């Protein structure tokens, strides 16, 4: 995340980034972990923030809820 923010990559190529967390089982720290991404999203224009924070993830999911074969 820090690289993308410092280098401007997330601003220049907003369709190429997805954010997320590897938090598994220990969800008490999850809200704190997700707060870190607000710094990145706040630095982006609203359209780019929506792509990085939401749309790009949905674009990699299979259409219609079924995996592609």
This prediction's pTM:
0.65
Phi-psi label, residue 64: left if phi above 0, alpha if psi -120 to 50, beta otherwise: left
The predicted pLDDT at position 11 comes to 74
The predicted pLDDT at position 58 comes to 92
Residuewise pLDDT in 10s, the chain (69 residues): 555 555 567 677 788 888 877 766 777 877 887 888 888 889 888 998 999 889 999 998 888 766 655
Structure tokens given for 51: 């792509």
Structure tokens given for 24: 């598994």
Sketch the domain layout of the chain as residue ranges.
2-17+27-60
């Amino acid at each position: 995340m820090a690289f993308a923010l410092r280098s401007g990559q997330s601003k220049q190529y907003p369709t190429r980034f997805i954010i997320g967390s590897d938090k598994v089982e220990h969800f008490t720290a999850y809200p704190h972990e997700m707060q870190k991404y607000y710094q990145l999203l706040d630095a982006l224009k609203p359209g780019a923030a929506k792509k990085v924070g939401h749309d790009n993830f949905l674009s990699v999911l299979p259409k219609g809820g079924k995996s592609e074969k």
